[in-house]
Chain A
């Protein structure tokens, strides 16, 4: 089975609820942020991104909020579905001359029917 995420913080919600997953990033110079979803046994899947000159961006059922003052990023999932159950990672891109992603540790989302 999947060994990734055994000790991750976990958010448990009921189907239909809204979910909020939080992330603190490390570098105030980071200018681009991404949320990934990782299902068991698979690679990370891009969900949504946001640039540092924005504080909110909306996608389909998802919204990302960026608070640069406190270096905080959140992912809001509306009307959470069982298929949303996965580990969610935030990642920041530090412009070091070559774009490399730095990942957070992740949050496991469990959605109960």
Chain B
């Protein structure tokens, strides 16, 4: 049971190039998320998918597109990369890693993709 996996782990792009970050979860969860993390800041939500076939914008969606390919996979695409998109990208999927009697799901994070745009 791998949980959440992300590929690639590292990527260097030139300004204007495109790429797709892949995320997969094997926990049969409905919801999946993409975050970015910049130095000195917490994680910020880019896009999320509440269920297969649906996607919605988060806090910082500009410059990104997403595809919920199926229940397992949620990809993030940069059509024309910019230096401002240099960041660490995390994919996440609930549920709550420690079962409790009540309360919302807690996200479970992948290992991250470190992207540098030159």
A75 to chain B, nearest CB (A): 15
B12 to chain A, nearest CB (A): 14
Q: Are B112 and A6 in contact (CB under 8 A)?
A: no
Residues of B within 8 A of A45 (CB): 109
23 contacts between A and B (CB under 8 A): A3-B88, A4-B38, A4-B88, A5-B40, A7-B39, A7-B40, A32-B103, A43-B111, A44-B43, A44-B90, A45-B109, A46-B106, A49-B100, A51-B102, A98-B31, A99-B104, A99-B105, A100-B45, A100-B58, A101-B43, A101-B107, A105-B40, A106-B42
B43, B48, B100, B112: residue with the most chain A Cβ atoms closer than 10 Å: B43
Interface size on A, residues (CB 8 A): 28
Q: Give A residues with C-beta under 8 Å from B.
A: 3-8, 32, 34, 41-46, 49, 51, 89, 91, 93, 95, 98-101, 103-106
Bound CA span A44–B102, Å: 22
Q: Give B residues with C-beta under 8 Å from A.
A: 4, 31, 33, 37-45, 48, 50, 56, 58, 88, 90, 92, 94, 97-98, 100, 102-112, 114
A37 to chain B, nearest CB (A): 11
Q: Are A103 and B112 in contact (CB under 8 A)?
A: no
A106 to chain B, nearest CB (A): 6
Going nearest first, the 9 A-B pairs with the smallest beta carbon separation are A103-B42, A43-B109, A7-B40, A99-B104, A6-B39, A103-B43, A46-B97, A105-B42, A44-B109
Residues of A within 8 A of B58 (CB): 100
CB closest residue in chain B, given A93 = B104
A89 to chain B, nearest CB (A): 6
CB closest residue in chain B, given A45 = B109
- 8 Å CB contact of A32 from B37, B43, B44, B104: B104
A74 to chain B, nearest CB (A): 17
B113 to chain A, nearest CB (A): 10
B106 to chain A, nearest CB (A): 6
Given contacts A3-B88, A46-B98, A100-B45, whether A8 and B106 have CB atoms under 8 Å apart is no
CB closest residue in chain A, given B51 = A98
